[in-house]
Amino acid sequence: MRLLEVPARVVTGYQGGEQNPVDGFMTVRQSDAHAWTEVWLQGQGWVRIDPTSVVAPVRIQSGAGEVARQAGRGSTATGTDVPWLRALRYNWEAVENSWNQWVLTYSLERQQALVERLASPPGWKASSCCLRSSWASCLPGSRSSRCDRDWCAIRWSVLPVAARAARTCRRGGLRLVRTPRALCPDQARAGRRRREAGAPSARPLRAAALRPGLGQCNARRCPRPAPCDPGLPAPPQSAVTHGRRSFLVALAALAVARPAQARSPYVGRPEVQQFVEELAATHGFDRARLERWLRDARYSASVERLMQPPIPFGQRNWLEYRQRYLDPARVQAGVDFWQTHRAALARAEEEYGVPAEIIVAVIGVETYFGRITGNFRTLDVFTTLTFDYLRRADFYRAEFIEFLLLAREQRRDPLSYRGSFAGAIGLPQFMPGSIRRWGVDFDGDSRIDLLASPTDAIGSVANFLVGHGCNATCRSSSRPRPTKASSMPSVAASRRGRHGPRHCRQASAPRHCCRSIPP
Amino acid sequence: MRLLANGLITSRIRYDATSYTAYRLDANLSPPQLQDWLVLPAGFNPRTIQFAQELRDQVLPGAATDRRAQEVQLVNAVLEHFRRGSYGYTLEHRPWDATRSTSSCSTRGSDSASTMPRPSCS
């Protein structure tokens, strides 16, 4: 088609599949892989043209399995065509699918969600020993090994063992439910002792604080004791061992899940206590009030997961990225934002000398012009990243303090803030420290609200950029440099003619100005 | 369209997706953007180039002057070529039989069988 000057491309994917009559799920296999073409037609966009449909319509209408059957192979990649064997396969796959849906992916978060959903009639103290110990068992050494990975390490090969273990465990769990907590007082004491001793590892400690005494309790009831001394590194264990433990826990969770009373994972931890003392001493915060906030703070596993550094993909193709990123909807949203707030933007341009398009672009890149500002509770983000995610703990500890100061200055409840998983707030995604340093009340309502007031956001972005050395003079030299001249952002390119090339005042400025809001 | 994970996938993952069977994609691409979808490596597939030239000479004289209509006719001509050209579809991984290739040119299939003509097929 390209030789005929018709824009064309190859598309690969899957075509067909097989619906399992047992559970109604569609199974798509590697043997359903298919490649076809698309041509681009004016006014219609990409249109699917599949030559296979004219050569072998049966492939398109009935799938790869039918092609194989007609070819007389009698069997496909999926197995045999004998009816009873096929029925067996359907049943087997339905079981396997249920297993995948309900056991393997029955992750920590979903367990917690279940427990939260069943939220407690007050006084319901006991969860199942095994359910809780599942969390505990996952935690030692968990900075490197994640529970979710363990779940998926389970294979059919461990099923008989795991099922037996689960039965035992379930019995133990049920007994515990009948006599909640009283069974493990010695462990509770041990947990307290460990906390007082100030054991180094943060998350196991949290586990101990959250559910004192479960390790040993677990050791008594369950065939595979969880390592329960948080001070010791977890012994090396095969994935299958982990898996088995996780499995029995999963079954136990399904069988006897009981709501655990919500308790703070933070109050009572020595490093948290130290944090409270420090804030009280240096910034005059009221200890009781701080503790009340911290009691409401929750550890967020998704925050921690999202903070993991991404695997580098290598150099991305700017052209491809630009095409994906700068789609018509985003451009339109930018134009709308600019129109709606043109007065504030013009004022910012005048007062700070920062070009309006750069302010619009920053807000567009950060939050799609305010559409995606994040829905994580900022307090949870900071407790999680300060106390449970040690990779950037110093940075987040400082920002946590800034956050509490900000809330105090703004006379707002720290629990009321929401933002990104990294703690950034509002349309321009400022960190609390940046809000305190660079935020401005641009709409004159005597408060700085970067989430509710786009005007404040516009003024604050301008002020931030000026504070980092940006002004009208660095309009064009600060743009990201694409590899090809033709791939310059077209909106910007069209404006360039009007203003002409400009240069930054300071030699070092272009690298920094107009470029980034700190994470 | 691609789905990219933010990290290595080391365990079973679950995600939600919605499919749209009636869609319109990139209906307003500009000529420079379309240029990407017209690029071919130089110096390859002389017989396919010749086939394309013949097809063009055959179709375009009688075709409408409207570019869009011309493109539709070209697409149909190519599909017609596949329909009449004794092409086949197979899932067998059979070695390529050069003796069969001249007149009835069966495209060799794989599981992801594509019926794109090979140079020797046209």
- pLDDT higher at A125 or A319: A319
Cβ of B11 and A328 within 8 Å? no
Identify the pLDDT of residue A281. 94
Cβ of A7 and B8 within 8 Å? no
Tens of pLDDT, residues A384-411: 999 988 888 899 999 999 999 999 999 9
Tell me how close the Cα of B114 comes to any Cα of chain A, in angstroms: 5
Domain borders along chain A are 2-83, 105-263, 302-309+318-512
Q: Does A25 touch chain B (CB under 8 A)?
A: no
Indicate the residue of A1, A104, A148 with minimum beta-carbon distance to B78.
A1
The rounded distance, in Å, linking the Cα atoms of A396 and A344 is 32
Instruction: Band the pLDDT of A15: cuts 50, 70, 90.
Output: confident
- Residues of chain B with C-beta less than 8 angstroms from the C-beta of A106: none
Q: Does A485 touch chain B (CB under 8 A)?
A: no
Residue of B nearest to A13 (CA): B112
Tell me how close the Cα of B22 comes to any Cα of chain A, in angstroms: 11
Enumerate residues 383 to 412 of chain A having a beta carbon within 8 A of any beta carbon in chain B: none
The rounded distance, in Å, linking the Cα atoms of B105 and B103 is 6
Q: Does A88 touch chain B (CB under 8 A)?
A: no
The rounded distance, in Å, linking the Cα atoms of A60 and A403 is 58
- Mean pLDDT of all residues belonging to chain B: 74
- Residues of chain B with C-beta less than 8 angstroms from the C-beta of A43: 27, 68
Cβ of B88 and A55 within 8 Å? yes
CB within 8 Å of A356: residues ≥ 6 apart:
A338, A342, A345, A346, A348, A349
- Residues of chain A with C-beta less than 8 angstroms from the C-beta of B56: 4
- Check residue A12 and report its DSSP letter: E
Cβ of B89 and A9 within 8 Å? no
Identify the pLDDT of residue A360. 95
- Percent of chain A past pLDDT 70, that is, above it, reads 56
Residue of B nearest to A29 (CA): B111
Cβ of A54 and B83 within 8 Å? yes
Please, what is the Cα angle at A424 between A420 and A427, to 5 degrees? 90
**What mean pLDDT comes out for the span A492-516?**
36
Tens of pLDDT, residues A270-317: 999 999 999 999 999 999 999 999 998 988 888 888 888 776 666 667
- Residues of chain A with C-beta less than 8 angstroms from the C-beta of B79: 49, 51, 54
A28: amino acid identity, one letter? V
> Which residue out of B86, B104, B114 would a mutagenesis test of the A interface target, given it has the greatest number of A Cβ atoms within 10 Å?
B114
Domain borders along chain B are 44-83
Q: Which range among A78-92, A431-445, A505-519, B12-26 shows the weakest confidence by mean pLDDT?
A: A505-519
Structure tokens, A449:
């609200």
Identify the pLDDT of residue B94. 67
Cβ of B11 and A151 within 8 Å? yes
Catalytic member of A18, A304, A357, A366 = A366
The rounded distance, in Å, linking the Cα atoms of A86 and A401 is 63
**What mean pLDDT comes out for the span A17-39?**
85
Q: Does A71 touch chain B (CB under 8 A)?
A: yes
- Mean pLDDT of all residues belonging to chain A: 69
Q: Does A55 touch chain B (CB under 8 A)?
A: yes
Instruction: Band the pLDDT of A209: cuts 50, 70, 90.
Output: very low
Structure tokens, B113:
């069988």
Q: Does A211 touch chain B (CB under 8 A)?
A: no
Structure tokens, A52:
């296979």
**What mean pLDDT comes out for the span A240-244?**
42
pLDDT at A18 over 50: yes
> Which residue out of A40, A49, A317 would a mutagenesis test of the B interface target, given it has the greatest number of B Cβ atoms within 10 Å?
A40
Identify the pLDDT of residue A262. 44
Which residues face B18 on adjacent strands? none
Identify the pLDDT of residue B96. 63
pLDDT at A430 over 90: yes
The rounded distance, in Å, linking the Cα atoms of A503 and A394 is 36
Q: Does A242 touch chain B (CB under 8 A)?
A: no
Cβ of A55 and B68 within 8 Å? no
- Percent of chain A past pLDDT 90, that is, above it, reads 31
The rounded distance, in Å, linking the Cα atoms of A107 and A168 is 21
| Three state DSSP letters for A451-492 | CCCHHHHHHHHHHHHHHCCCCHHHCCCCCCCCCCHHHCCHHH
Residue of B nearest to A77 (CA): B111
- Chain mean position to CA A512: 28
The rounded distance, in Å, linking the Cα atoms of A36 and B36 is 18
- Percent of chain B past pLDDT 70, that is, above it, reads 73
Identify the pLDDT of residue A345. 96
Judge whether A366 counts as a catalytic residue: yes
pLDDT at A52 over 50: yes
Q: Does A8 touch chain B (CB under 8 A)?
A: yes
A331 three-state secondary structure: helix
Pairing of strands A33-41, A18-19: unpaired
Cβ of A46 and B115 within 8 Å? no
pTM for the model: 0.41
The radius of gyration of chain A's CA atoms, rounded to the nearest angstrom, is 29
Residue bearing tokens 């004289």 = B61
Identify the pLDDT of residue A158. 37
Residue B30 dihedral angles phi and psi, to the nearest 5°: -85, 160
Residue of A154, A139, A64, A59 whose CA lies nearest to A102: A154
A252 three-state secondary structure: helix
- Residues of chain A with C-beta less than 8 angstroms from the C-beta of B8: 311
Cβ of A45 and B116 within 8 Å? no
Answer yes or no: are the C-beta atoms of B7 and A310 closer than 8 Å: yes
Tens of pLDDT, residues B31-60: 888 888 898 888 888 999 999 999 888 888
Answer yes or no: are the C-beta atoms of A374 and A419 closer than 8 Å: yes
Indicate the residue of A2, A68, A149 with minimum beta-carbon distance to B38.
A2
